[in-house]
């Protein structure tokens, strides 16, 4: 077993199929895109305290006339 075979042991975090280097760590473009959509729709979140209203980011800055 080569080191390339060891790296090929990675699994897609969405469907658990073997990962493909072109889409790593995913197996395909559809799995990669579905994961991105989950982040954009806030299905995935990073743990931490809730953001305050003043930390709204670029949208909040634009709404405040900055």
Q: What is the pLDDT of residues 52-65, one digit of tens each?
A: 766 555 665 555 55
- What are 18's strand-pairing partners? 11
What is the pTM for the complete model shown?
Answer: 0.59
pLDDT at 26 over 50: yes
Does a cis peptide bond (omega within 30 degrees of 0) precede residue 32? no
Is the sign of the CA dihedral 14, 41, 21, 30 positive or negative? positive
* CA pair distance 36, 4, nearest whole angstrom: 27
More confident residue, 30 or 57: 30
pLDDT band at 19 (very low <50, low <70, confident <90, very high): very high
Which residues have CB under 8 Å from 43's CB, separation 6+?
Answer: none
């Amino acid at each position: 077993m080569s080191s390339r075979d060891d790296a090929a042991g990675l699994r897609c975090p969405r469907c658990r199929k073997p990962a493909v280097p072109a889409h790593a760590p995913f197996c395909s473009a559809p799995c990669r895109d579905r994961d991105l959509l989950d982040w954009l729709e806030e299905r995935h979140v990073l743990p931490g305290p809730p953001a305050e209203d003043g930390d709204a980011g670029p949208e909040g800055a634009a709404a405040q006339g900055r």
